[in-house]
Amino acid sequence: MREATCADLEAALAGEDAELAEVFSRHARSCAACGEELALAEAITAAAPSLRKEWPSPGLEQRIRAGLRAEGARKRRLAIASWATLAAAAGLTIALVARALFVPPAPTAPAAEQLSIPAIDDGRERLLTEQAAAEVDKAEQAYVRSIDSLSKLAEPRLTQSRSELVANYREKLLLIDSAIAECHSQIDRNRFYAHLRLELLSLYREKQRTLDSLLKEDPNAL
């Protein structure tokens, strides 16, 4: 029959070997020093839950909600500023390209005139922007279709598994879908919003990565 000695104290308290813990417990009944150590360990375990703190904080949830709303507003303001910068840069690029393509050089013109950028027809600029937006729409639709196919492949794992790992994936995908929906609602208000298009693309990429990762998980681990 297995027996324990004072030398087994630390190993027994580590809790990795249930049989040793039981044998050591018998030893501790006849050894005052080990008995005291065991009692201390048990007292710590028993007292630990009493360290849990609870207090009412009715204002905290409101503070967090207000903070998140303010953060959302800040993000939108930043996005507007970024869009304005992007639009200005795009306008300048269009103007420079149009000048290079359509305006013949005027060798006799004074230097000051050579530096001036000719006015661009508003209709042409809008048309170019709409064409770009239409191409983005088309590419996005194709991307969404491929992600939908991935989602269908992943669906059995997401719906049938009760494992903690799959629950994590489900929770993350819900958050991503929520952010995609938020992004779409902002894009609906202005489809030429380049910054939001980039944000949406990064969200779709994140969803794709998450679905890829789920599909690569070992089925035995799910």
Task: Please give the residue ranges that form the binding site for another protein (CB under 8 A).
Answer: 10, 13-14, 16, 36-37, 40-41, 43-57, 60-61, 63-65, 67-69, 71-72, 164-165, 167-169, 171-172, 174-175, 177-179, 181-182, 184-186, 202-203, 206, 209-210, 213-214
- In the complex with another protein, which residue's Cβ is closer, 57 or 160? 57
Terminus-to-terminus CA distance in the chain, angstroms? 41
In whole angstroms, how close is the CB of 109 to another protein at the nearest point? Answer: 51
Cβ partners under 8 Å of residue 200, min gap 6:
140, 180, 183, 184, 187
- In the complex with another protein, which residue's Cβ is closer, 116 or 185? 185
In whole angstroms, how close is the CB of 81 to another protein at the nearest point? Answer: 17
- In the complex with another protein, which residue's Cβ is closer, 172 or 191? 172
Give, as one character, the DSSP assignment of residue 31: -
In whole angstroms, how close is the CB of 65 to another protein at the nearest point? Answer: 7
Two structure tokens written together for 143: 């991307």
Residue pair 35/28 in contact by the 8 Å Cβ criterion: yes
- In the complex with another protein, which residue's Cβ is closer, 30 or 185? 185
| Helices (H), ranges, 57-121 | 58-102, 111-115
- In the complex with another protein, which residue's Cβ is closer, 94 or 201? 201
Q: Is 69 exposed, middle or buried (0-12, 13-18, 19+ CB in 10 A)?
A: exposed
Please tell me whether residue 34 adopts helix, strand or coil conformation: helix
In whole angstroms, how close is the CB of 3 to another protein at the nearest point? Answer: 23
- In the complex with another protein, which residue's Cβ is closer, 115 or 221? 221
In whole angstroms, how close is the CB of 22 to another protein at the nearest point? Answer: 18
The CB-based long-range contact list for 2-9 (8 Å cut-off, 24+ gap) reads 3/27, 6/31, 6/33, 6/34, 9/34, 9/37
In whole angstroms, how close is the CB of 203 to another protein at the nearest point? Answer: 7
Residue pair 186/193 in contact by the 8 Å Cβ criterion: yes
